[in-house]
Amino acid sequence: MDFRVKVAEKLREIITEIGFDEINQMIEIPPDSLLGDFAFPCFKLAKVLRKPPAVIAGEIVSGFAPCETVERAAQVGAYVNFFLNRELVAKTVIREILEQQEEYGKSGIGGGATVLIDYSSPNIAKPFHVGHIPTTVIGHALYNIYKHLGYNTISINHLGDWGTQFGKLITAYKNWGNEEEVEQGGVAELMRLYIRFHDEADKDASLNDTAREWLVKMQNGEEEAIALWKWFNDISLYEYKNNTYKRLGIDFDYYTGESFYNDKMSAVSDELREKGLLTLSEGASIVDLSAYNMPPCLILRSDGGTLYPTRDIAAAFYRQKTYNFDKVLYVTCMDQSLHFAQWFKVIELMGYDWASKLVHVPLGLINFSEGKLSTRKGNVILLDDVLNDAVSKTRGIIEEKNPNLADKDEIAESVGVGAVVFNNLYNSRIKDVSFSWERVLSFEGESGPYVQYTHARACSILKKADFTPKDSVDYSVLSDEIPSDVIRALSAFPRKILEVSETNEPCVLSRGLIEICQSFNKFYNSQTVLTDDENIRNARLTLVYCVKTVLALGLKLLGIKSPENM
Ligand code: ARG
């Protein structure tokens, strides 16, 4: 049962001037449950009815007839607040969760529509640094949530596996590297070489020429260059898959990087030329976008080499043909917003209406106190190092708080990694993420460990009681304010995940989980769950069970593990 719809129906009985859908949309959820379960603001109606909003609110309240579901309406200024039958709400929500379990909130709303999510996409041979955390974590959460909602969701890692950095890396390897060290050191060794290249090139500019020559050899398909390029790729990808992504619980449906489109690029420039969109500018081929207040989109360099936008355009054509998508999300840092706006426009100018299905999902940066991150200098912070740090700090906290815990290492891994992930999902994605260890690892604040800890607490109560859900529950036990708040937070879950898909903002879900935890901890601290009264005990345990179920599901959708002990 959708209680909002019930409230909208009640309002429709009284208000005839505007339609049901409009009423439904105007209904809000009050910030505090003391103000009711739903609120209806009368400001908009004031314009239609030419009466002060507070007068209208008063009239709605006098016209309101209580029913089984909506028990009471009360006016507060320009608002009408509605109070639901708490017992009925408890029964409905709990039954739904018990019935649906892991499927809770699955709406089928996606209807099998195909959504491609292009995310993470690190640049091989450059380090996988913390700058890639937001896209990796937010992209993954979006992937899980779209999937849960019934979309045919496909994840693509558009690896930066082609380009000038390889010429530099090959040069560095030839000068200062050896096979054994690369095999053993992996990505860290590649990064060391890459950084060394920049240090040395500052002193000896001819190294840049050598790097360019290697790039040309790669482009010409020369054996040695291609073999080295492939080797660097294999090493990097192996490490991402078996280390970084594995720790984060991520696997991609496709790892089709930029090099995959090497043979699909000339078709793009040919078509652009045919359609009269290509112009020459200082030897380079560009699409002029001045009519749209944007700098030109670069298609071909003066030496004929392709560029980042060319590869994205070729990839978009390939994806359109291969998947016939309904939507593609490009999850990247917001400093790429112009890049996406430009080439989306180019596709539109080529006459393809599916350009409107391409969506850039821009993200803020991640800030350490050290300032902005750079891959060229030596002061990069590697993603793996951040995860390692988080895990070892968590290990320390466990040692302090719960030294007898079994599987300490495994739990420290889940909690440490989860803490970093959650920290990137808690604020609106466009906001820069500031990283403070204290907040990330807090067990009490609005953090990953707090949610995981609440979940583990629920698990331990259930275990202690050896509880399994029963068919009959006395829901009246759960109708006072404190458990009602928990139920309210649980009932918001399906709407929250829907909202994530509408806004591409996973923080809507993470905040919803925090609300569940806060109300649950209040409940747990003020009402004894394991009482002797069988009736009360069963009802309260049922609620604990629902909290555990929804928290585990929510964490899973965010890409975070939920250990049963902590
Ligand atoms: N490799 C790029 C980077 O690290 C991100 C790629 C994003 N996806 C895309 N289709 N352009 O900045």
What is the number of the ligand 1 atom nearest to the C-alpha of 333? Answer: 12
Is residue 494 within 8 A of residue 512, CB to CB? The reply is no
pLDDT, tens digit, for every residue of 296-309? 999 998 888 888 99
pTM equals 0.93
pLDDT, tens digit, for every residue of 218-277? 989 999 999 999 999 999 999 999 999 999 999 999 999 999 999 999 999 999 999 999
Q: Tell me what pLDDT residue 229 has.
A: 97
Q: Are strands 278-281 and 297-300 parallel, antiparallel or unpaired?
A: unpaired
| Sign (positive or negative) of CA dihedral 138, 141, 147, 153 | positive
168 is catalytic: no
Cα 17 to ligand 1 centre (Å): 50
Query: Using CA atoms, how far apart are residues 415 and 550, in angstroms rounded to an integer?
Result: 18
Q: Tell me what pLDDT residue 373 has.
A: 44
pLDDT, tens digit, for every residue of 539-558? 999 999 999 999 999 999 99
DSSP character at residue 288:
-
Q: Residues 357-381: what's their mean pLDDT? A: 69
- Which residue in the list 6, 10, 132, 496 is annotated as catalytic? 132
Cα 409 to ligand 1 centre (Å): 34
126 is catalytic: yes
Instruction: Give me the chain's average pLDDT, please.
Output: 93
Q: Residues 89-108: what's their mean pLDDT? A: 95
Q: Tell me what pLDDT residue 379 has.
A: 57
Which amino acids bring their CB within 6 angstroms of ligand 1? 118, 121-123, 158, 160, 312, 330, 332
For the cut 70, the answer to whether the pLDDT of residue 518 exceeds it is yes
Cα 118 to ligand 1 centre (Å): 8
Cα 138 to ligand 1 centre (Å): 14
For the cut 60, the answer to whether the pLDDT of residue 370 exceeds it is no
- Which residue in the list 10, 91, 129, 357 is annotated as catalytic? 129
Going by C-alpha positions, the residue among 303, 315, 337, 323 that lies closest to residue 268 is 315
Name which residue sits closest to atom 6 of ligand 1, judged by CA: 121
Q: Tell me what pLDDT residue 371 has.
A: 45
**Confidence band, pLDDT 50/70/90 cuts, at residue 372:** very low
What is the number of the ligand 1 atom nearest to the C-alpha of 339? Answer: 11
> By percentage, how much of the chain surpasses pLDDT 70?
97
**Confidence band, pLDDT 50/70/90 cuts, at residue 128:** confident
pLDDT, tens digit, for every residue of 449-476? 999 999 999 999 999 999 999 999 999 9
Going by C-alpha positions, the residue among 446, 459, 422, 418 that lies closest to residue 549 is 459
Cα 82 versus chain centre, distance: 33
Q: Tell me what pLDDT residue 261 has.
A: 96
For the cut 90, the answer to whether the pLDDT of residue 33 exceeds it is no
To test the pocket of ligand 1, the residue of 317, 320, 332 to mutate (highest count of ligand atoms within 8 Å of its CB) is 332
Q: Tell me what pLDDT residue 210 has.
A: 97
What is the number of the ligand 1 atom nearest to the C-alpha of 315? Answer: 10
198 is catalytic: no
For the cut 80, the answer to whether the pLDDT of residue 1 exceeds it is no
Cα 244 to ligand 1 centre (Å): 18
> What tokens does 207 get?
């190294």
